[in-house]
Amino acid sequence: MPGRCVLIVLDGLGDRSYASLDHMTPLQSASTTNLDALAEMGANGLYHADRLGVALSSQDAHFALYGYDRAETLRRGILEAVGSGLEVGTNDVAVLGRLITAERDNGILRIVDRRPPADPDRISGLMSCIDRYETNGIGFRFTQINQLEGILILTGNVSPHITDTDPLCNGLPAPSVKPFSPHESDPAAQATARALTEYLIWVHRTLSEHPLNRAGTARGEMPLNAMITHLADGLRPIEPFRERWGLAALSISPKLVQWGVSRSLGMDTARVKDSRDPGKDIADRITLAVHKLPQYEFIHVHSMAPDQAAHTKNPLTKRSVIEALDAGIGRAIGPLLSNPDVLLAVTADHSTPSGGPLIHSGEPVPMVFVGQGVRRDAVRALDEIQCASGALGTVRGREFMLMVLNYLDRCKLRGIMQSPRDRDFWPGDYEPFRIED
């Protein structure tokens, strides 16, 4: 039986059907001989990291793939702060902030453009004017992480239980900041909401009058005159992946929030960069996984390319990216398939529709397991439709890691107690029985 698992996550691979693709999904329509060969060698099914119909973020879906319940996990603000190595105190709150173009409409802040074009000098010049603030004992520290995006760290007696001001869409009013249920009467949440509101008003006034914005608007450019925020959270300890599953783990990912996820779970992280060639990138990452196999029992190999292609809202772009990934997988996958110690899993974290207004959608995604002992079904193509008739059925949430333990012959017979804390893996991390000589 295999002793280690390599999980390839093609981010946002699942999709909907489009008339421009003869009513197929981009994956169905793509020519993917290598992914289809994996389907032919393995057990196929559909996967949803939560309940069918629920649209999940990458980080929530990855936490579920790694076998963590929603209540245990962290939100993106703190994950990106941790992933980017920012200094965050145990009582601090981190929230994502984005500079945008907004207008005042009868006393309401309305979003004009969430992604206005702006040159890097103007962005960094404006951000440096709003990077420090303090009110009523609550401090604010803003750090740019990517173009218009940054992380706002709140210090003092602060609470992460506050609502978002980013409506995720142009044309809508920014929501007001409020403590969210059941923390409505928590004084710290109320004070945090008041202080953030004051900071965001100050940011709007400061940026609106800034000479860089005035010069820009004189040239006909959109002003970067407001900040919107979302997904606040603070640090909380989470049970490490190794303790929960008994497997030493590595994540190979180009995505900042994934670095935060793996770091929060005590997994090692290989911080790789994306080039313009997603096929080369996935091939390089699979080759890195092959080299790292002796050190790890679980390796996550991640490509953001299908998700990013879907966000361009062009199904044909996504199809060509999938074909490039398939070619890259075909070039690199040989050493994993020929190694009897490897259980290979290929799936996605969620569906990303390459049409319509949604960021992610709630359809399940294809999943395949390949390895010694894994049942072989009659599926001959890895896509959202063919995999539905596979031997796995529909796999959900935390079941993925339980299936990995099962295929590795590491699943525990339920009820066995070898250590004070119940675990799903066998043999457990138990203390040996000692007899004095």
Complex with Zn ion: residue 92 or 349, whichever CB lies closer = 349
> Shortest gap between Cβ of 47 and Zn ion (angstroms)?
13
> Shortest gap between Cβ of 28 and Zn ion (angstroms)?
20
Complex with Zn ion: residue 49 or 293, whichever CB lies closer = 49
Q: Which residues are within 8 A (CB) of 414 and not within 5 positions of it... i.e. 6 or more apart?
A: none
Complex with Zn ion: residue 284 or 349, whichever CB lies closer = 349
- Residues contributing to the site for Zn ion (CB under 5 A): 11, 58, 307, 349
CA–CA dist 275, 189 (Å, integer): 42
Tell me whether the omega of the peptide bond preceding residue 120 falls within 30 degrees of 0, making it cis: no
Residue 173's φ and ψ, nearest 5 degrees, are -70, 150
Give exposure, 235-245, as e/b (b: 16+ Cβ within 10 Å). beebeebbebb
Taking each helix axis as running N to C, give the angle between helix 399-407 and helix 58-65, from 0 to 180 degrees, rounded to the nearest 10.
40
CA–CA dist 224, 77 (Å, integer): 21
> Shortest gap between Cβ of 37 and Zn ion (angstroms)?
25
DSSP structure string for 106-130: TTEEEEEESS----HHHHHHHHTTS
Complex with Zn ion: residue 29 or 58, whichever CB lies closer = 58
Complex with Zn ion: residue 58 or 361, whichever CB lies closer = 58
Residue 132's φ and ψ, nearest 5 degrees, are -140, 135
> Shortest gap between Cβ of 307 and Zn ion (angstroms)?
5
CA distances to 35, 150, 162 from 193, rounded to whole Å, are 48, 19, 6
The DSSP secondary-structure symbol of 24 reads B
> Shortest gap between Cβ of 180 and Zn ion (angstroms)?
24
Beta bridge partners of 110: 103, 173
CA–CA dist 416, 183 (Å, integer): 40
Q: How far is CA 363 from the centre of its chain?
A: 17
> Shortest gap between Cβ of 27 and Zn ion (angstroms)?
15
**Nearest residue by C-beta to Zn ion?**
58
Complex with Zn ion: residue 5 or 310, whichever CB lies closer = 310
> Shortest gap between Cβ of 306 and Zn ion (angstroms)?
9
Complex with Zn ion: residue 62 or 161, whichever CB lies closer = 62
Count of CA atoms in the C-beta half-sphere (13 A) of 344: 22
Complex with Zn ion: residue 173 or 355, whichever CB lies closer = 355
> Shortest gap between Cβ of 254 and Zn ion (angstroms)?
12
